[in-house]
Amino acid sequence: MNQTIELPVNGLKSALPGLSKVVSRSACLPVLRSVRVARGKTGHITVQATDLDSLVTYHGLEPQTGPACELLVPFEPFRNIVKACPAQERLHLVLDQKDRVTLCCFIGGTPIEKTVEVPFLDDWPKLPSVTEPGARVNDDFKQALREALDCVGSDSSRLVTQGAFIDVTERKANYLVGTDGAHLYAANSFTLDLRKSVIVPCRKFLLWPPFAQDGDWTLTVQPGSRDDVWLRVASARWTLVTKAIQGTYPKWRNVLPAGQDATRIVLSDSAVAQLLETAPRLPVGDEVNQSIGIEVRDGKLWLKGRAKAQTEWTEFEILGATVRGKPCFVRFNRLYLVKALRWGLHDIELHDPTTPLVFSHAGRRLVVSIIGDAQNPPAPTPQSPASPAQPEPTPVTSPSVPRSETPTEERNPMPATIATTTPRQPPVNGEPEARPSALRAALDRLEATKNSLRDLLGQVNETVNLLKAAEKEKRTTEQEIESVRRTLRGLQKVQL
Protein backbone atom coordinates (compact mmCIF):
# COMPACT_ATOMS: atom_id res chain seq x y z
CA MET A 1 0.00 0.00 0.00
CA ASN A 2 1.33 3.42 -0.95
CA GLN A 3 2.00 5.96 1.78
CA THR A 4 0.77 9.50 1.03
CA ILE A 5 1.44 12.76 2.89
CA GLU A 6 -0.09 16.10 1.92
CA LEU A 7 1.82 19.25 2.74
CA PRO A 8 0.67 22.89 2.40
CA VAL A 9 3.02 24.66 0.01
CA ASN A 10 2.74 27.94 1.91
CA GLY A 11 4.26 26.39 5.06
CA LEU A 12 6.96 24.62 3.05
CA LYS A 13 8.09 27.85 1.41
CA SER A 14 8.86 29.34 4.83
CA ALA A 15 10.58 26.15 6.03
CA LEU A 16 12.92 25.54 3.08
CA PRO A 17 15.40 28.39 3.86
CA GLY A 18 15.89 27.07 7.39
CA LEU A 19 16.33 23.46 6.28
CA SER A 20 18.89 24.54 3.69
CA LYS A 21 21.15 25.77 6.54
CA VAL A 22 21.65 22.13 7.55
CA VAL A 23 21.25 20.04 4.39
CA SER A 24 24.59 19.42 2.67
CA ARG A 25 24.75 19.61 -1.12
CA SER A 26 28.15 17.91 -1.32
CA ALA A 27 27.77 15.17 1.29
CA CYS A 28 28.91 11.68 0.27
CA LEU A 29 25.91 10.04 1.94
CA PRO A 30 22.63 10.49 0.00
CA VAL A 31 20.71 10.54 3.29
CA LEU A 32 22.45 13.81 4.27
CA ARG A 33 21.18 15.39 1.05
CA SER A 34 17.59 14.49 1.95
CA VAL A 35 14.88 15.60 4.38
CA ARG A 36 12.69 13.37 6.52
CA VAL A 37 8.95 14.03 6.34
CA ALA A 38 6.86 12.30 9.01
CA ARG A 39 3.24 12.23 10.18
CA GLY A 40 2.83 11.24 13.81
CA LYS A 41 0.05 9.34 15.49
CA THR A 42 -1.68 12.62 16.35
CA GLY A 43 -1.52 13.77 12.72
CA HIS A 44 1.15 16.44 13.26
CA ILE A 45 3.63 16.86 10.40
CA THR A 46 7.37 17.39 10.90
CA VAL A 47 10.15 18.01 8.37
CA GLN A 48 13.74 17.31 9.48
CA ALA A 49 17.24 17.86 8.14
CA THR A 50 20.57 16.70 9.58
CA ASP A 51 24.33 16.86 8.97
CA LEU A 52 25.22 14.25 11.66
CA ASP A 53 26.26 17.00 14.11
CA SER A 54 22.90 18.82 14.16
CA LEU A 55 19.24 17.97 13.67
CA VAL A 56 16.72 20.68 12.72
CA THR A 57 12.98 19.98 12.93
CA TYR A 58 10.16 22.15 11.56
CA HIS A 59 6.77 21.79 13.33
CA GLY A 60 4.83 24.58 11.66
CA LEU A 61 2.68 22.51 9.27
CA GLU A 62 -0.99 21.96 10.00
CA PRO A 63 -2.03 18.48 11.24
CA GLN A 64 -3.90 16.08 8.98
CA THR A 65 -5.75 12.81 9.28
CA GLY A 66 -4.13 9.54 8.33
CA PRO A 67 -1.97 6.77 9.73
CA ALA A 68 1.52 7.45 11.06
CA CYS A 69 4.15 7.24 8.34
CA GLU A 70 7.53 8.67 7.37
CA LEU A 71 9.63 8.94 4.23
CA LEU A 72 12.82 10.51 2.91
CA VAL A 73 12.89 12.99 0.03
CA PRO A 74 15.99 14.33 -1.78
CA PHE A 75 16.18 18.01 -0.91
CA GLU A 76 17.00 19.52 -4.32
CA PRO A 77 13.98 18.18 -6.27
CA PHE A 78 11.81 18.75 -3.21
CA ARG A 79 12.84 22.42 -3.06
CA ASN A 80 12.52 22.94 -6.81
CA ILE A 81 8.94 21.71 -7.02
CA VAL A 82 7.93 23.68 -3.89
CA LYS A 83 9.32 26.87 -5.43
CA ALA A 84 7.35 26.24 -8.64
CA CYS A 85 4.03 25.54 -6.89
CA PRO A 86 1.63 28.38 -5.96
CA ALA A 87 1.42 29.10 -2.22
CA GLN A 88 -2.27 28.13 -1.99
CA GLU A 89 -1.71 24.62 -3.41
CA ARG A 90 -0.83 21.40 -1.60
CA LEU A 91 2.06 19.08 -2.35
CA HIS A 92 1.42 15.32 -2.39
CA LEU A 93 4.23 12.92 -1.46
CA VAL A 94 3.52 9.34 -2.54
CA LEU A 95 5.90 6.52 -1.59
CA ASP A 96 5.45 3.32 -3.62
CA GLN A 97 6.82 -0.13 -2.89
CA LYS A 98 9.92 0.42 -5.01
CA ASP A 99 11.38 3.02 -2.64
CA ARG A 100 10.54 5.84 -5.00
CA VAL A 101 8.68 9.01 -4.11
CA THR A 102 6.39 10.87 -6.47
CA LEU A 103 6.07 14.63 -5.87
CA CYS A 104 2.79 15.98 -7.25
CA CYS A 105 1.15 19.39 -7.20
CA PHE A 106 -1.20 21.42 -9.42
CA ILE A 107 -0.22 24.56 -11.29
CA GLY A 108 -3.20 26.27 -12.91
CA GLY A 109 -5.20 23.06 -12.72
CA THR A 110 -2.48 21.04 -14.46
CA PRO A 111 -0.84 18.28 -12.40
CA ILE A 112 2.94 18.43 -12.19
CA GLU A 113 4.64 15.21 -11.13
CA LYS A 114 8.23 14.22 -10.52
CA THR A 115 9.40 10.78 -9.37
CA VAL A 116 12.73 10.49 -7.56
CA GLU A 117 14.62 7.68 -5.90
CA VAL A 118 15.00 7.98 -2.14
CA PRO A 119 17.54 6.58 0.36
CA PHE A 120 16.57 3.80 2.74
CA LEU A 121 14.73 5.08 5.77
CA ASP A 122 16.94 2.98 8.05
CA ASP A 123 19.96 5.08 6.98
CA TRP A 124 18.55 8.16 8.70
CA PRO A 125 20.93 8.94 11.63
CA LYS A 126 19.53 8.65 15.13
CA LEU A 127 20.65 11.56 17.28
CA PRO A 128 20.10 11.43 21.06
CA SER A 129 16.84 12.89 22.29
CA VAL A 130 17.08 15.75 24.80
CA THR A 131 14.53 15.34 27.57
CA GLU A 132 15.90 17.55 30.36
CA PRO A 133 13.89 20.67 31.32
CA GLY A 134 15.12 23.79 29.60
CA ALA A 135 15.74 27.44 30.46
CA ARG A 136 13.64 30.17 28.89
CA VAL A 137 15.67 32.87 27.10
CA ASN A 138 14.47 36.19 25.68
CA ASP A 139 15.45 38.50 22.85
CA ASP A 140 18.36 40.02 24.81
CA PHE A 141 20.01 36.63 25.10
CA LYS A 142 19.41 35.85 21.41
CA GLN A 143 21.00 39.15 20.39
CA ALA A 144 23.99 38.54 22.66
CA LEU A 145 24.39 35.00 21.30
CA ARG A 146 24.48 36.26 17.71
CA GLU A 147 27.06 38.89 18.63
CA ALA A 148 29.19 36.36 20.53
CA LEU A 149 29.10 33.91 17.61
CA ASP A 150 30.19 36.73 15.31
CA CYS A 151 33.40 37.01 17.37
CA VAL A 152 34.39 33.33 17.47
CA GLY A 153 37.45 31.98 15.65
CA SER A 154 37.89 29.51 12.81
CA ASP A 155 41.20 27.92 13.83
CA SER A 156 40.71 24.14 13.68
CA SER A 157 43.51 23.63 16.21
CA ARG A 158 41.56 25.65 18.83
CA LEU A 159 38.14 24.05 18.69
CA VAL A 160 36.92 25.65 21.94
CA THR A 161 37.18 29.13 20.38
CA GLN A 162 34.81 28.14 17.55
CA GLY A 163 31.77 28.52 19.78
CA ALA A 164 30.11 30.88 22.26
CA PHE A 165 30.75 30.09 25.92
CA ILE A 166 27.82 30.24 28.36
CA ASP A 167 29.53 30.75 31.72
CA VAL A 168 27.25 29.91 34.67
CA THR A 169 29.92 29.77 37.38
CA GLU A 170 28.29 32.84 38.92
CA ARG A 171 24.68 31.78 39.42
CA LYS A 172 23.25 35.28 39.64
CA ALA A 173 25.28 36.75 36.77
CA ASN A 174 25.75 34.40 33.84
CA TYR A 175 28.01 35.47 30.98
CA LEU A 176 27.98 34.86 27.25
CA VAL A 177 31.49 35.01 25.73
CA GLY A 178 32.99 34.70 22.26
CA THR A 179 36.57 35.27 21.10
CA ASP A 180 39.00 34.52 18.29
CA GLY A 181 42.11 35.72 20.11
CA ALA A 182 42.12 39.19 18.54
CA HIS A 183 38.89 40.47 20.08
CA LEU A 184 36.60 39.22 22.83
CA TYR A 185 32.88 39.73 23.41
CA ALA A 186 31.30 39.38 26.85
CA ALA A 187 27.70 40.03 27.92
CA ASN A 188 26.22 39.53 31.38
CA SER A 189 22.87 40.22 33.10
CA PHE A 190 21.58 36.71 32.33
CA THR A 191 20.29 34.23 34.87
CA LEU A 192 19.83 30.85 33.21
CA ASP A 193 18.64 27.69 34.91
CA LEU A 194 21.57 25.60 33.65
CA ARG A 195 23.57 23.16 35.74
CA LYS A 196 26.93 23.59 34.02
CA SER A 197 28.72 25.90 31.61
CA VAL A 198 28.61 24.94 27.95
CA ILE A 199 30.17 25.96 24.62
CA VAL A 200 27.57 26.51 21.91
CA PRO A 201 28.96 25.71 18.42
CA CYS A 202 28.59 28.28 15.67
CA ARG A 203 25.84 26.81 13.48
CA LYS A 204 24.40 28.61 10.47
CA PHE A 205 20.90 27.84 11.67
CA LEU A 206 21.48 29.73 14.95
CA LEU A 207 22.35 32.85 12.94
CA TRP A 208 19.30 32.56 10.68
CA PRO A 209 17.10 35.65 11.42
CA PRO A 210 13.66 33.92 11.13
CA PHE A 211 14.71 31.46 13.83
CA ALA A 212 15.56 34.34 16.18
CA GLN A 213 12.22 35.98 15.39
CA ASP A 214 10.19 32.84 16.11
CA GLY A 215 9.27 33.71 19.72
CA ASP A 216 11.24 32.99 22.89
CA TRP A 217 13.67 30.10 22.98
CA THR A 218 13.99 27.21 25.39
CA LEU A 219 17.63 26.21 25.91
CA THR A 220 18.33 22.71 27.25
CA VAL A 221 21.67 21.07 28.08
CA GLN A 222 21.79 17.29 28.52
CA PRO A 223 24.86 15.08 29.02
CA GLY A 224 25.07 12.12 26.66
CA SER A 225 27.15 8.98 26.41
CA ARG A 226 30.97 9.09 26.43
CA ASP A 227 31.04 12.53 28.01
CA ASP A 228 29.15 14.10 25.09
CA VAL A 229 26.91 17.08 25.84
CA TRP A 230 23.88 17.83 23.66
CA LEU A 231 22.01 21.09 23.30
CA ARG A 232 18.42 21.68 22.31
CA VAL A 233 17.22 25.12 21.27
CA ALA A 234 13.46 25.21 20.65
CA SER A 235 11.24 28.03 19.40
CA ALA A 236 7.55 28.09 18.47
CA ARG A 237 8.00 26.17 15.20
CA TRP A 238 11.63 25.03 15.16
CA THR A 239 13.85 22.73 17.21
CA LEU A 240 17.64 22.48 16.91
CA VAL A 241 19.51 19.59 18.53
CA THR A 242 23.30 19.82 18.26
CA LYS A 243 26.41 18.57 20.00
CA ALA A 244 28.21 21.03 22.28
CA ILE A 245 31.93 21.67 21.92
CA GLN A 246 33.97 19.76 24.49
CA GLY A 247 37.05 21.25 26.13
CA THR A 248 38.24 23.82 28.65
CA TYR A 249 37.42 27.36 27.64
CA PRO A 250 40.22 29.98 28.08
CA LYS A 251 40.20 32.09 31.22
CA TRP A 252 38.54 34.99 29.52
CA ARG A 253 38.21 37.14 32.68
CA ASN A 254 41.99 37.62 32.74
CA VAL A 255 41.72 39.56 29.48
CA LEU A 256 39.44 42.28 30.84
CA PRO A 257 41.59 45.33 31.69
CA ALA A 258 41.15 47.07 35.02
CA GLY A 259 38.97 50.16 34.86
CA GLN A 260 41.18 52.33 37.08
CA ASP A 261 42.88 55.37 35.52
CA ALA A 262 41.21 54.72 32.19
CA THR A 263 40.48 57.41 29.63
CA ARG A 264 36.74 57.23 28.99
CA ILE A 265 34.95 58.34 25.84
CA VAL A 266 31.19 58.59 25.42
CA LEU A 267 30.02 58.93 21.81
CA SER A 268 26.90 60.80 20.83
CA ASP A 269 24.75 59.74 17.88
CA SER A 270 26.42 62.32 15.66
CA ALA A 271 29.88 61.10 16.69
CA VAL A 272 28.90 57.51 15.93
CA ALA A 273 27.61 58.52 12.49
CA GLN A 274 30.84 60.40 11.77
CA LEU A 275 33.00 57.44 12.81
CA LEU A 276 30.98 54.96 10.73
CA GLU A 277 31.34 57.23 7.71
CA THR A 278 35.01 58.11 8.15
CA ALA A 279 36.66 54.91 9.46
CA PRO A 280 36.13 52.77 6.31
CA ARG A 281 37.60 55.55 4.14
CA LEU A 282 40.82 56.12 6.08
CA PRO A 283 44.07 55.05 4.38
CA VAL A 284 45.65 51.91 5.82
CA GLY A 285 49.02 50.37 5.11
CA ASP A 286 48.06 46.77 5.81
CA GLU A 287 44.87 45.33 4.32
CA VAL A 288 45.04 42.38 6.72
CA ASN A 289 45.20 44.28 10.00
CA GLN A 290 43.63 47.51 8.63
CA SER A 291 45.11 49.43 11.54
CA ILE A 292 43.85 52.90 12.39
CA GLY A 293 44.36 55.00 15.49
CA ILE A 294 42.26 56.96 17.91
CA GLU A 295 43.84 59.64 20.04
CA VAL A 296 42.68 61.73 22.96
CA ARG A 297 44.39 65.11 22.78
CA ASP A 298 43.46 68.51 24.19
CA GLY A 299 40.21 67.07 25.54
CA LYS A 300 39.12 66.01 22.04
CA LEU A 301 38.85 62.73 20.14
CA TRP A 302 40.80 62.26 16.90
CA LEU A 303 40.53 59.45 14.36
CA LYS A 304 43.79 58.80 12.50
CA GLY A 305 45.04 56.69 9.60
CA ARG A 306 48.03 56.48 7.27
CA ALA A 307 48.93 54.47 4.18
CA LYS A 308 52.58 53.78 5.08
CA ALA A 309 54.54 53.51 8.31
CA GLN A 310 56.82 56.47 7.56
CA THR A 311 54.17 58.90 6.33
CA GLU A 312 52.23 61.50 8.29
CA TRP A 313 48.94 60.62 9.92
CA THR A 314 45.68 61.73 8.34
CA GLU A 315 43.44 62.76 11.23
CA PHE A 316 39.86 63.91 11.74
CA GLU A 317 38.36 65.48 14.83
CA ILE A 318 35.28 63.57 16.01
CA LEU A 319 32.65 66.07 17.09
CA GLY A 320 30.13 65.16 19.77
CA ALA A 321 32.45 62.92 21.83
CA THR A 322 32.70 63.46 25.59
CA VAL A 323 36.24 62.73 26.84
CA ARG A 324 37.39 62.25 30.44
CA GLY A 325 40.92 61.24 31.36
CA LYS A 326 44.54 61.62 30.33
CA PRO A 327 45.80 61.86 26.72
CA CYS A 328 46.26 58.51 25.01
CA PHE A 329 46.90 57.06 21.54
CA VAL A 330 46.19 53.47 20.43
CA ARG A 331 46.11 51.57 17.13
CA PHE A 332 43.76 48.71 16.32
CA ASN A 333 41.79 47.06 13.51
CA ARG A 334 39.08 49.37 12.17
CA LEU A 335 36.76 46.42 11.45
CA TYR A 336 36.29 46.03 15.20
CA LEU A 337 35.44 49.71 15.55
CA VAL A 338 32.69 49.43 12.94
CA LYS A 339 31.39 46.22 14.52
CA ALA A 340 31.23 47.74 18.02
CA LEU A 341 29.46 50.91 16.87
CA ARG A 342 26.87 48.98 14.87
CA TRP A 343 26.11 46.93 17.96
CA GLY A 344 25.45 50.08 19.96
CA LEU A 345 28.65 49.91 22.07
CA HIS A 346 29.25 53.66 22.25
CA ASP A 347 31.35 53.86 25.46
CA ILE A 348 35.12 53.45 25.00
CA GLU A 349 37.87 52.84 27.58
CA LEU A 350 41.52 53.54 26.71
CA HIS A 351 44.38 52.61 28.99
CA ASP A 352 47.80 52.74 27.31
CA PRO A 353 49.37 51.74 23.97
CA THR A 354 49.76 48.11 25.08
CA THR A 355 46.50 47.37 26.91
CA PRO A 356 43.37 46.31 24.98
CA LEU A 357 40.68 48.94 24.58
CA VAL A 358 37.08 48.24 25.55
CA PHE A 359 33.79 49.15 23.86
CA SER A 360 30.82 48.76 26.19
CA HIS A 361 27.17 49.54 26.80
CA ALA A 362 24.45 48.06 29.04
CA GLY A 363 26.36 44.99 30.22
CA ARG A 364 27.91 44.17 26.84
CA ARG A 365 31.63 44.59 26.17
CA LEU A 366 33.92 44.13 23.19
CA VAL A 367 37.61 43.93 24.14
CA VAL A 368 39.89 44.67 21.17
CA SER A 369 43.61 43.94 20.93
CA ILE A 370 46.12 46.70 20.27
CA ILE A 371 48.30 46.73 17.17
CA GLY A 372 51.79 47.86 18.15
CA ASP A 373 54.78 48.78 16.01
CA ALA A 374 58.17 47.93 17.48
CA GLN A 375 59.99 49.94 14.79
CA ASN A 376 57.83 53.05 15.05
CA PRO A 377 56.27 53.37 18.50
CA PRO A 378 53.57 56.04 18.87
CA ALA A 379 54.92 59.53 19.28
CA PRO A 380 54.33 61.27 22.62
CA THR A 381 51.02 63.06 22.76
CA PRO A 382 51.58 66.82 22.65
CA GLN A 383 50.29 68.76 25.61
CA SER A 384 48.03 71.74 25.24
CA PRO A 385 49.56 75.09 26.34
CA ALA A 386 46.89 75.53 29.00
CA SER A 387 47.49 72.18 30.69
CA PRO A 388 50.60 71.29 32.71
CA ALA A 389 52.99 68.78 31.21
CA GLN A 390 52.38 65.23 32.29
CA PRO A 391 55.06 62.55 32.43
CA GLU A 392 54.93 60.04 29.63
CA PRO A 393 53.47 56.74 30.89
CA THR A 394 55.80 53.80 30.88
CA PRO A 395 54.48 51.06 28.54
CA VAL A 396 53.50 47.95 30.45
CA THR A 397 52.57 44.48 29.38
CA SER A 398 48.91 43.47 29.35
CA PRO A 399 48.11 41.39 32.44
CA SER A 400 46.69 38.68 30.20
CA VAL A 401 49.99 38.16 28.33
CA PRO A 402 53.15 37.23 30.30
CA ARG A 403 56.28 39.18 29.32
CA SER A 404 57.97 36.04 28.03
CA GLU A 405 55.07 35.49 25.61
CA THR A 406 54.65 39.09 24.44
CA PRO A 407 54.63 38.99 20.62
CA THR A 408 57.02 41.25 18.71
CA GLU A 409 55.26 41.20 15.37
CA GLU A 410 52.61 43.72 14.39
CA ARG A 411 49.87 41.28 15.27
CA ASN A 412 49.90 37.76 16.65
CA PRO A 413 46.42 36.59 17.67
CA MET A 414 46.32 34.22 20.62
CA PRO A 415 43.17 32.13 21.05
CA ALA A 416 43.38 32.09 24.82
CA THR A 417 44.14 35.77 25.30
CA ILE A 418 43.96 39.13 23.59
CA ALA A 419 47.19 39.71 21.71
CA THR A 420 49.18 42.90 22.22
CA THR A 421 52.55 44.19 21.10
CA THR A 422 54.90 46.01 23.46
CA PRO A 423 57.09 48.83 22.09
CA ARG A 424 60.65 49.35 23.26
CA GLN A 425 61.11 50.51 26.81
CA PRO A 426 62.25 54.16 27.12
CA PRO A 427 65.24 55.14 29.28
CA VAL A 428 64.60 54.92 33.00
CA ASN A 429 66.00 57.55 35.43
CA GLY A 430 67.98 59.16 32.62
CA GLU A 431 70.11 56.04 32.00
CA PRO A 432 70.73 55.06 28.38
CA GLU A 433 68.83 52.10 27.01
CA ALA A 434 70.64 48.77 27.12
CA ARG A 435 72.47 47.86 23.92
CA PRO A 436 70.29 45.57 21.81
CA SER A 437 71.41 42.00 21.42
CA ALA A 438 72.40 40.41 18.11
CA LEU A 439 69.07 38.59 17.98
CA ARG A 440 67.19 41.87 18.52
CA ALA A 441 69.21 43.50 15.75
CA ALA A 442 68.47 40.59 13.40
CA LEU A 443 64.78 40.84 14.16
CA ASP A 444 64.84 44.60 13.53
CA ARG A 445 66.62 44.03 10.23
CA LEU A 446 64.08 41.37 9.28
CA GLU A 447 61.23 43.76 10.09
CA ALA A 448 62.81 46.47 7.95
CA THR A 449 63.27 44.00 5.09
CA LYS A 450 59.62 42.98 5.40
CA ASN A 451 58.53 46.62 5.14
CA SER A 452 60.77 47.12 2.10
CA LEU A 453 59.32 44.03 0.41
CA ARG A 454 55.81 45.29 1.16
CA ASP A 455 56.62 48.63 -0.50
CA LEU A 456 58.22 46.83 -3.45
CA LEU A 457 55.14 44.65 -3.85
CA GLY A 458 52.99 47.78 -3.94
CA GLN A 459 55.16 49.22 -6.72
CA VAL A 460 54.91 45.93 -8.66
CA ASN A 461 51.12 46.02 -8.38
CA GLU A 462 51.08 49.61 -9.66
CA THR A 463 53.28 48.61 -12.62
CA VAL A 464 50.96 45.68 -13.41
CA ASN A 465 47.97 48.03 -13.38
CA LEU A 466 49.76 50.40 -15.76
CA LEU A 467 50.61 47.53 -18.13
CA LYS A 468 46.98 46.38 -18.09
CA ALA A 469 45.84 49.90 -18.91
CA ALA A 470 48.37 50.12 -21.76
CA GLU A 471 47.21 46.77 -23.12
CA LYS A 472 43.61 47.93 -22.99
CA GLU A 473 44.49 51.15 -24.87
CA LYS A 474 46.36 49.08 -27.46
CA ARG A 475 43.34 46.86 -28.06
CA THR A 476 41.11 49.93 -28.39
CA THR A 477 43.51 51.50 -30.91
CA GLU A 478 43.64 48.29 -32.96
CA GLN A 479 39.87 48.11 -33.03
CA GLU A 480 39.64 51.73 -34.22
CA ILE A 481 42.23 51.09 -36.97
CA GLU A 482 40.38 47.98 -38.10
CA SER A 483 37.14 50.00 -38.24
CA VAL A 484 38.83 52.62 -40.44
CA ARG A 485 40.17 49.89 -42.72
CA ARG A 486 36.71 48.37 -43.14
CA THR A 487 35.35 51.82 -44.01
CA LEU A 488 38.09 52.35 -46.63
CA ARG A 489 37.43 48.93 -48.18
CA GLY A 490 33.76 49.83 -48.43
CA LEU A 491 34.59 53.16 -50.13
CA GLN A 492 36.87 51.40 -52.64
CA LYS A 493 33.98 49.24 -53.78
CA VAL A 494 31.79 52.25 -54.51
CA GLN A 495 31.49 52.86 -58.28
CA LEU A 496 30.73 56.30 -59.59
| Shared-domain flag, residues 34 and 117 | yes
CA distance 228 to 486: 77
* Model confidence pLDDT, tens digit, residues 334-362: 999 999 999 999 999 999 888 999 999 99
CA 18 to chain centre: 19
Q: Within a domain: residue 87?
A: yes
| Shared-domain flag, residues 374 and 321 | yes
Q: Within a domain: residue 435?
A: no
Note if the pTM is more than 0.85.
Answer: no
Q: Within a domain: residue 446?
A: no
Check which CATH number belongs to the domain holding 94 and give it: 3.10.150.10
CA distance 193 to 170: 12
Exposure b/e, 214-247, CB count within 10 A at least 16 = b: beebebbbbeeeeeeebbbbbbebbbbbbbbbee
For residues 432-453, give the mean pLDDT: 63
- Give the alpha-carbon dihedral of 162, 175, 204, 343, to 10 degrees: -110
Query: What pLDDT score does 125 carry?
Result: 87
Query: What pLDDT score does 373 carry?
Result: 58
The number of distinct structural domains making up the chain is 3
| Shared-domain flag, residues 297 and 421 | yes
CA distance 112 to 403: 71
* Model confidence pLDDT, tens digit, residues 453-472: 766 776 777 777 778 777 77
Closest by CA position to 134, among listed 57, 220, 201, 67 = 220
Query: What pLDDT score does 195 carry?
Result: 82
| Shared-domain flag, residues 139 and 117 | no
| Shared-domain flag, residues 73 and 153 | no
The domain in which residue 347 lies consists of: 256-384+406-426
Closest by CA position to 201, among listed 153, 168, 248, 238 = 153
- E runs forming strands in 235-389: 238-243, 263-267, 291-297, 300-305, 314-318, 321-324, 328-333, 347-350, 357-361, 364-368
